[in-house]
């Protein structure tokens, strides 16, 4: 309790002080990282805790971004209603897609999520009347929650930080709840879970929908930050990028995807100042991560520490089982 | 009338191309139990290679064969160099093929720039053919003939040769295949090479119709996925029927409802998933 | 009296292979029934059809008069069915307590609680501890399954099933792979299970199994060959034929 609590407090203070230590460029970068970190944590609900690898998660992220833009600029709704409506649309899509994708498991699940994601991409790209196609849509003005202006880099960072912290807290609660335990159980031994009376399908579907919901919240942050959304937001590249963050950092831990988001976003931003294209680098990191760090950075690092101090493994950390390399029985 | 005839022919030709793409995809999936997400990139690479070989003076057919060969070799390198290291970790393998597809796509963009590269059809196939008063694009008929020849050859390979028997055994039951002394690792390599080569060949053959352009890989991969979801994993016949079905849906969809072609394309897949998920995925469930 | 388990005309085939052929069986409440038969006799396949892992082609399976075949596995469990697996099916990265808690959650509404921390649910952990104590693992609750011995895992299988307070318990070779000492310990444990639990057991260890069971069913090639009391089955020439004849 005490040690992890102190660590958490330290991180919170550090995060709160970020704007005082950096210039606008880096503050914006940090806002971007928070958005992607939430996106990756949302995906990790199904990938890490649920054992369901999705290659179409950008769909819910991007649908929320498109929907809030459309509702606000075309339909003329106010900011709050648009945001709620957009999250609703994206979560509803996740509910329907979840029913379809969960017809299968394992790699077939992955293929179906990819195909479903491509449908969304096809709509974003081709249905020009709705989405303005390749040109993308502009989101003219950030909202002003409680009348507070968040157009500046610093104020937007704090806005993102609050949304991020609240979201991650809720996800943390879910992961540690009885439902979270059932979700991990369904990942490791689906057959046994059924025989224990659990509704494995419903557990997975609920996790899928939740995962879509939080991806949608991240999508809102994204479009508020960029003030622009294009088909890239729902592309296979985007889905792959967020999956890379999750796997690179270490699925089945809460912090892993955040670390992955930090690394990938930094590399992407640094790389884009030197090379024109990011895709080859993304692909390369993907290959290296899978071949050399199959369980990800955070679990690997944790194993390293616990090997030095075998007694230090905190017993209360149910959210992040040490060395949880689940044998995925599906 | 002309519209329907031409669209029908286009659909058939496109279906033929899809068969070249998805037959290999399906065999690899059936045997190695993993969707090769670099398959679209292989196809695109085939298109670019074809254009380049012809630029260097090769005739169309030589260029097509060389592209197939080159992409096939690339497939072997991918299989031997990376996938085999991840044996038993199907998910890792899939992610690696995805990573490789991004690398290939980016390298293509570097080498051939962002502008589409035309792939010329053979000289004699360029003027249209006239049959019963209607003009037909000759090259589409050529594509159809190639696809049918490829299908027949693949069928013979699968049904009449030792290699084919081993592949069928592996698709049906890997453990049994291992048990009767089939060298599975060699088999994987050969099927991966065959699949990659077919995709590369298909890329050049499809070039005159589609051109080589950045994003061709991302356009083609989902089509292969849909074909396999419709036709079943590891089944040549399924890939054949599925390819032409998707060819028709995609072509007519694009012609009639350009905004929704992509959505229409996936509707049959959704229908299949809702109505009979077990049947179509039975082979890959495990 | 309504039988605890009533199987009628149960049949299942895979292509040309018949794995269950018109099986009919009645098991009285509180009975200890042993199912024996050579490998491939269709014993586990029968269990899988009772639990719903496998869908039979024809027949009926009633639990205290209620048809099970239309229900999903989880709903059968809710009716009071529990089983253990011959091949250990546990959660190896979790503690023994956590394994039993998952079993308890399966029958409780709290499994849809998304908010409150599981580890604060002391009543669940108390119940889990009781179940572990029942099988002699009361002191090992905080150990990871991966760190326990094979014998302890066999007991955990049993604890998870018992924690659910089932009406009908299916035991698939609960002694498989155990040493003689452990066998004696586990079989002694089985005799302590109260009579309001009906038990159907598959077991190869004849000494233990015959001592435990009152009624015995012999399966061969998916078919019931002999059924009766211990003495009847042992004396029946067909039993000898199956076990010694080949």
pLDDT tens digits for range B94-121: 889 999 999 999 999 989 988 999 888 8
For the record, the structure tokens of C238 come out as 């067909």
Chain A contact set for B225 (CB, 8 A) = 111, 114-115
Per-residue pLDDT, B279: 41
Helices (H), chain B: 2-32, 39-55, 60-81, 90-112, 138-160, 162-172, 174-179, 184-210, 216-231, 236-256, 261-275, 277-285
3-state secondary structure of C2: coil
Q: What is the pLDDT of residues B56-81, one digit of tens each?
A: 988 999 999 999 999 999 999 999 99
pLDDT at B11 over 80: yes
3-state secondary structure of C18: strand
C-contacting chains (≥3 CB pairs under 8 Å): A
The Cα of A326 is separated from the nearest Cα of chain C by a number of Å equal to: 8
Report which secondary-structure segment, H or E, holds A228. strand A228-229
Q: What is the pLDDT of residues C48-80, one digit of tens each?
A: 999 999 999 999 999 999 999 999 999 999 999
Other beta carbons less than 10 A from residue A325's beta carbon: 14
Do C and B make contact via 3 or more CB pairs under 8 A? The reply is no
Determine whether the interchain pair A195/C77 forms a contact, defined as Cβ–Cβ distance below 8 Å: yes
Q: Residue range B262-266: average pLDDT?
A: 80
* Interface subset of C 194-223, CB within 8 angstroms of A: none
Write b or e for each residue in A119-133: b if 16 or more Cβ atoms lie within 10 A of its Cβ, otherwise e: bbbbbbbbbeeebbb
Per-residue pLDDT, A293: 81
Assigned domain for A152 exists: yes
Per-residue pLDDT, A324: 35
Determine whether the interchain pair A291/B82 forms a contact, defined as Cβ–Cβ distance below 8 Å: yes
Per-residue pLDDT, A330: 35
* Interface subset of C 31-60, CB within 8 angstroms of A: 51-53
- Among A108, A127, A240, select the one facing B98 at the smallest CB separation: A240
Determine whether the interchain pair B103/A125 forms a contact, defined as Cβ–Cβ distance below 8 Å: no
Chain A contact set for C87 (CB, 8 A) = none
Q: Does residue A80 contact residue A96 with C-beta atoms inside 8 Å?
A: no
Nearest to A168 by CA among A290, A27, A15: A15
Mean pLDDT of chain C: 90
3-state secondary structure of C79: coil
pLDDT above 70: percentage of residues in chain C: 99
Task: Print the domain residue range for A185.
Answer: 2-236
Per-residue pLDDT, C233: 87
What ipTM does the predicted assembly reach? 0.91
Per-residue pLDDT, A325: 36
B130: β partners: B135
pLDDT above 70: percentage of residues in chain B: 96
C66: β partners: C63
Assigned domain for A269 exists: no
Assigned domain for A314 exists: no
In angstroms, the CA C163 to CA C169 distance is 11
Per-residue pLDDT, A253: 86
Q: Does residue A167 contact residue A187 with C-beta atoms inside 8 Å?
A: no
Q: CA angle B41-B216-A281, nearest 5°? A: 50
Chain A contact set for B229 (CB, 8 A) = 111-112, 115
Helices A178-188 and A200-226: angle between axes, nearest 10 degrees:
110
Write b or e for each residue in B129-164: b if 16 or more Cβ atoms lie within 10 A of its Cβ, otherwise e: eeeeeeebbbbbbbbbebbeebbeebeeebeeeeeb
In angstroms, the CA C6 to CA C29 distance is 11
**Mutation choice for A interface testing from B80, B99, B234 by most A CBs within 10 A:** B99
Residues 6+ apart with CB under 8 A from A250: A48, A256, A257, A259, A260, A295, A296, A297, A298, A299, A300
Per-residue pLDDT, B113: 86
Chain A contact set for C83 (CB, 8 A) = 195
pLDDT at C234 over 60: yes
Other beta carbons less than 10 A from residue A171's beta carbon: 22
Q: Residue range B7-34: average pLDDT?
A: 90
Determine whether the interchain pair A284/B109 forms a contact, defined as Cβ–Cβ distance below 8 Å: no
Q: What is the dihedral of CA A132, A136, A137, A141, to 10 degrees?
A: -170
Determine whether the interchain pair B98/A116 forms a contact, defined as Cβ–Cβ distance below 8 Å: no
> Domains in chain B and their CATH numbers?
2-285 (1.10.3470)
Which carries the bigger pLDDT value, residue C240 or residue C99? Answer: C99
Residues 6+ apart with CB under 8 A from B66: B49, B53, B58
In angstroms, the CA C189 to CA C183 distance is 10
State which residue of chain C sits closest to A199, comparing Cα positions. C74
CATH assignment, C1-80+166-246: 3.40.50.300
Confidence band (pLDDT; 50, 70, 90) for B218?
A: confident
Residues 6+ apart with CB under 8 A from C35: C43, C46, C200, C201, C202, C216, C217, C218, C219
Per-residue pLDDT, B21: 93
Helices A279-292 and A256-274: angle between axes, nearest 10 degrees:
140
Q: Residue range B258-281: average pLDDT?
A: 71
Kindly report the backbone phi and psi dihedral angles of residue A32, in degrees, each rounded to the nearest multiple of 5, phi listed first: -60, -45
Q: Does residue A330 contact residue A15 with C-beta atoms inside 8 Å?
A: no
**Mutation choice for B interface testing from A115, A134, A191 by most B CBs within 10 A:** A115
Q: Does residue B281 contact residue B233 with C-beta atoms inside 8 Å?
A: yes
State which residue of chain A sits closest to C103, comparing Cα positions. A196
* Interchain CB contact of C105 with A (< 8 Å): yes
Range from B83-92, B270-279, C104-113 that averages highest in pLDDT = C104-113
Determine whether the interchain pair A279/B226 forms a contact, defined as Cβ–Cβ distance below 8 Å: no
Chain C contact set for A326 (CB, 8 A) = 93
Chain C contact set for A182 (CB, 8 A) = 102, 105, 111
C25: β partners: C7
Assigned domain for A246 exists: no
Confidence band (pLDDT; 50, 70, 90) for C230?
A: confident
CATH 3.40.50.300 in chain C, residues? 1-80+166-246
Residues of chain A predicted below pLDDT 70: 1, 276, 307-330
C7: β partners: C25, C61
The Cα of A206 is separated from the nearest Cα of chain C by a number of Å equal to: 10
Determine whether the interchain pair A287/B225 forms a contact, defined as Cβ–Cβ distance below 8 Å: no
- Among B103, B281, B284, select the one facing A283 at the smallest CB separation: B103
Q: What is the pLDDT of residues C132-158, one digit of tens each?
A: 999 989 888 899 999 999 989 999 999
Determine whether the interchain pair A290/B274 forms a contact, defined as Cβ–Cβ distance below 8 Å: no
pLDDT above 90: percentage of residues in chain C: 60
Determine whether the interchain pair A197/C78 forms a contact, defined as Cβ–Cβ distance below 8 Å: yes
Q: Does residue A61 contact residue A218 with C-beta atoms inside 8 Å?
A: yes
Q: CA angle B85-B89-B95, nearest 5°? A: 85
Per-residue pLDDT, B92: 87
**Mutation choice for C interface testing from A178, A187, A200 by most C CBs within 10 A:** A178
Chain A contact set for C105 (CB, 8 A) = 178, 181-182, 196, 198
Kindly report the backbone phi and psi dihedral angles of residue A136, in degrees, each rounded to the nearest multiple of 5, phi listed first: 80, 175
Confidence band (pLDDT; 50, 70, 90) for B277?
A: low
């Amino acid at each position: 309790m005490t040690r992890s609590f102190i660590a958490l407090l330290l991180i919170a203070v550090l995060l709160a002080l970020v704007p005082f230590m950096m210039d606008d460029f880096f503050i914006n970068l940090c806002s971007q990282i928070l958005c992607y970190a939430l996106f990756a944590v949302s995906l990790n609900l199904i990938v890490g805790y649920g054992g369901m690898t999705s290659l179409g998660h950008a769909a819910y992220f991007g649908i929320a971004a498109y929907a809030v833009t459309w509702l606000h600029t075309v339909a003329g709704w106010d900011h709050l209603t648009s945001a709620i409506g957009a999250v609703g649309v994206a979560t509803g899509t996740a509910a329907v897609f979840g029913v379809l994708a969960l017809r299968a498991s394992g790699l077939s699940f992955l293929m179906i999520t990819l195909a479903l994601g491509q449908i969304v991409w096809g709509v974003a790209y081709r249905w020009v009347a709705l989405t303005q196609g390749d040109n993308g849509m502009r989101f003219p003005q950030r909202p002003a929650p409680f009348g507070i202006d968040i157009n500046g880099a610093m104020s937007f960072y704090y806005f993102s930080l609050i949304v991020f912290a609240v979201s991650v807290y809720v996800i943390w609660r879910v992961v540690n709840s009885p439902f979270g335990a059932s979700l991990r159980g369904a990942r490791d031994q689906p057959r046994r879970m059924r025989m224990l009376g659990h509704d494995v399908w419903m557990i997975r579907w609920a996790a899928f929908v939740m995962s879509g919901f939080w991806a949608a919240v991240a999508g809102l942050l994204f479009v508020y930050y960029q003030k622009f959304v294009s088909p890239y937001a729902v592309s296979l590249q985007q889905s792959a990028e967020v999956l890379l963050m999750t796997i690179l950092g270490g699925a089945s831990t809460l912090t892993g995807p955040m670390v992955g988001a930090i690394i990938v976003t930094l590399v992407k931003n640094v790389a884009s100042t030197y090379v024109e294209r990011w895709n080859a680098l993304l692909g390369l990191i993907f290959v290296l991560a899978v071949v050399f760090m199959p369980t990800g950075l955070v679990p690997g690092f944790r194993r390293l520490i616990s090997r030095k101090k075998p007694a230090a493994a905190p017993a209360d950390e149910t959210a992040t089982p040490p060395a949880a390399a689940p044998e995925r029985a599906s | 009338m002309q519209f329907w005839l031409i669209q029908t022919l286009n659909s058939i030709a496109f279906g033929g191309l899809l068969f070249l793409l998805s037959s290999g995809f399906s065999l690899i999936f059936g045997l190695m139990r993993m969707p090769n997400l670099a398959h679209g990139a292989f196809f695109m690479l085939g298109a670019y290679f074809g254009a380049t070989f012809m630029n260097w003076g090769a005739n169309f057919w030589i260029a097509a064969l060389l592209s197939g060969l080159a992409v096939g070799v690339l497939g072997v390198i991918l299989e031997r160099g990376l996938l085999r290291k991840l044996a038993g970790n199907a998910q890792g393998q899939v992610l690696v093929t995805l990573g490789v597809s991004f690398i290939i796509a980016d390298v293509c963009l570097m080498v051939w720039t962002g502008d589409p590269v035309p792939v010329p059809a053979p000289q004699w196939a360029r003027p249209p053919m006239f049959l019963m008063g209607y003009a037909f694009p000759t090259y589409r008929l050529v594509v159809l003939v190639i696809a049918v020849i490829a299908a027949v050859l693949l069928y013979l390979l699968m049904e009449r040769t030792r290699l084919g028997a081993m592949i069928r055994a592996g698709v049906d039951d890997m453990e049994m295949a291992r048990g009767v002394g089939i060298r599975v690792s060699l088999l994987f390599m050969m099927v991966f090479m065959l699949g990659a080569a077919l995709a590369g060949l298909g890329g050049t053959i499809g070039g005159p119709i589609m051109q080589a352009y950045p994003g061709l890989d991302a356009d083609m991969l989902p089509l292969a996925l849909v074909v396999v979801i419709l036709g079943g994993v590891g089944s040549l016949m399924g890939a054949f029927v599925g390819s032409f079905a998707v060819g028709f849906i995609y072509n007519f969809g694009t012609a009639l409802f350009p905004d929704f072609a992509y959505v229409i394309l996936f509707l049959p897949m959704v229908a299949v998933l809702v109505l009979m998920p077990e049947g179509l995925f039975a082979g890959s469930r495990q | 009296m309504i039988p605890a388990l009533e199987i009628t005309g149960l049949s299942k085939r895979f292509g040309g292979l018949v794995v269950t052929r018109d099986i009919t069986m009645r098991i009285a409440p509180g009975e200890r029934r042993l199912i024996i038969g050579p490998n491939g006799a269709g014993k586990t396949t029968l269990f899988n059809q009772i639990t719903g892992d496998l869908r039979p082609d024809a027949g009926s399976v009633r639990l205290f008069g209620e048809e099970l075949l239309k229900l999903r596995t989880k709903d059968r469990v809710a009716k009071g069915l529990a089983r253990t697996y011959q091949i250990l099916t546990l959660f190896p990265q979790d503690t023994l307590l956590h394994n039993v808690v998952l079993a308890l959650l399966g029958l409780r509404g709290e499994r849809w609680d998304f908010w409150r921390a599981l580890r604060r649910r002391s009543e669940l952990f108390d119940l889990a501890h009781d179940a572990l104590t029942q099988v002699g693992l009361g002191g090992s609750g905080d150990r990871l399954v991966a760190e326990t011995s094979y014998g302890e895992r066999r007991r955990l299988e049993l604890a998870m099933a018992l924690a659910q307070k089932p009406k009908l318990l299916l035991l698939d070779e609960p002694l498989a792979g155990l040493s003689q000492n452990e066998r004696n310990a586990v079989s002694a444990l089985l005799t302590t299970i109260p009579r309001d639990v009906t038990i159907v057991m598959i077991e190869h260890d004849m000494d233990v199994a015959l001592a435990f069971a009152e009624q015995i069913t012999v399966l061969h090639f998916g078919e019931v060959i002999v059924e009766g009391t211990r003495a009847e089955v042992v004396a029946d020439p067909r039993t000898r034929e199956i076990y010694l004849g080949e």
